[in-house]
Amino acid sequence: MTRRLAYYVPAVAVFVGVLGLWELVVRAFGIQQFLLPPPSAIAFAFVEHFDELTTVGRNTLVEAVGGLVIGGVAALVVAFATARWVTASRTLLPFAIAANSVPIIAFAPIMNNWFGILNPLSKMMVVAVLVFFPIMINTLRGLTLVDQASLELMRSYAASELAIFAKVRVPNALPYIFTALKVSATLSLIGAIVAEYFGGSRSVLGQFIITEAAFFRFANAWAAIVVASAVSIAFFLIILAIERVAIPWHASARIADSS
């Protein structure tokens, strides 16, 4: 136990050290608040605007989670449907990978037009498209990159395609799917915030940050940034916890996270 704690000492030391140094430098050199507010000012802003930050944080989180659900379900459906036809998925994969390198945020204004700028669905759809490709690509890989010997083993039992799918391909894909979900958790929040930049409800993290920054109230903006990043880390940890429960066998034989 103490060994485990000792492992984290350097990280904690860096955290404390950087915050201390930051505070010190800002005070010693009298750096203007709008250039770099000291941590104490950010903490103060956080307390002062706590209620507002909770509201905007919650609204943005709803967009992110909604988008992740929509995009994730769509991605799983497409991947499962195409994985049954090996040639179809082999043809599809390069295009999915190419599509994945399209800067999706460029679609944010389009989604505003399609679904209504004030409708949270417009932000959800940006997130959905953003997470669709990584989840679909990873799922497809997990379903198709199966150990050849496992397939041969199943064939020696005269197993049906359906049995092979249920007993080999799907379990094989689960770690890939969770890897994509962990990446997507962070991505979904960032996507929602960027989408908010293109206008819409004012009661969201993105708009809060923009407004506060525009009025040079940077301590408030930084407080919101901290909230955004904390929410995103929490979201990631929740998915990590679900992964631990859902695929316990994988925790120790952890394969490399593919990105």
Partner 1 sequence: MFRAARSSLSLFVVIGALAVLWEVVKLLGGDPSEAWTPPFQWTVASDLNMPHVWDIAASFVQPAQRNGPPLGLVLVNAGIFTFREAFGGFVFGAVLGLALAIVFVHSSLLERALVPYVVASQTVPIIAIAPVLVIWLGGGWLAVALISAYLTFFPVTIAGLRGLRSPDPRALELMRSYASSSRDVLWKVRLPAAAPYLFAAFKVAATASVVGAIIGELPSGIRDGLGGAILNFNQFYVSGPPKLWAAIIVAAIVGIGFFALVRVAETVVLRGRVAPSDA
Partner 2 sequence: MSDSIVRVRGVDKVFGAGADKTPALQHIDLEIPRGAFVSLIGPSGCGKSTLLRLIGDLTQPSAGTVEVNGKTAHRARLDRDYGMVFQAPVLFDWRTVQGNVELPLEVSAKDRSARADRAKAMLALVELTGFERRYPWQLSGGMQQRVAIARALSFEPAILLMDEPFGALDEMTRERLNIELLRIWKQTGTTIVFVTHSIPEAVFLSTHVAVMSARPGRIIELIPVDLPQPRNDLTREDERYFGFITRVRERLRGREMGRPGAAEVAAS
Closest CA to 132 of 68, 38, 86: 68
- Considering only residues 127-186, where is the footprint of partner 1 by CB under 8 A? 137, 186
Residue 10 in the binding site for partner 1 (CB under 8 A): yes
What are the CA-CA distances from residue 130 to residues 40, 191, 192, 242 (Å)? 35, 7, 10, 22
* 198 C-beta neighbours (distance < 10 Å), count: 18
How far apart CA 144 and CA 85 sit, in angstroms, is: 10
Residue 248 in the binding site for partner 1 (CB under 8 A): no
Q: Which is nearer to partner 2, 55 or 172 (CB)?
A: 172
Q: Which is nearer to partner 1, 60 or 72 (CB)?
A: 60
Q: How far is CA 172 from the centre of its chain?
A: 22
Choose the contact partner of 114 out of partner 1, partner 2, none; CB within 5 to 8 A by kind.
partner 1
Residue 213 in the binding site for partner 1 (CB under 8 A): yes
Min separation Cβ 156 and partner 1, Å: 29
Q: Which is nearer to partner 2, 211 or 258 (CB)?
A: 258
Q: Long-range contact list for 89-98, CB < 8 A, 24+ apart? A: 89/140, 89/143, 89/144, 90/144, 92/140, 93/137, 93/140, 93/141, 96/133, 96/136, 96/137, 96/140, 97/133, 97/137
Q: State both tokens at 96.
A: 């999915």
Residue 131's contacts (CB-CB under 8 Å, 6 or more residues apart) are 67, 68, 71, 72, 75, 180, 184, 187, 188, 191
Min separation Cβ 169 and partner 2, Å: 11
Q: Which stretch binds partner 1 (CB under 8 A): 40-48, 152-160, 161-169, 197-205?
A: 197-205
Q: Which residues bind partner 2 (CB under 8 A)?
A: 147, 149-150, 152-160, 163, 167-168, 171, 174, 247, 249-250, 252-253
Residue 197 in the binding site for partner 1 (CB under 8 A): yes
Cβ atoms 74, 132 nearer than 8 A:
yes
Min separation Cβ 257 and partner 1, Å: 8
Which residues contact partner 1 by CB under 8 A? 7-8, 10-11, 13-15, 34-36, 91, 93-95, 97-98, 100-107, 109-110, 112-114, 137, 186, 189-190, 193-194, 197-198, 205-206, 209-210, 213-214, 218, 221, 224-225, 228-229, 232-233, 236, 256-259
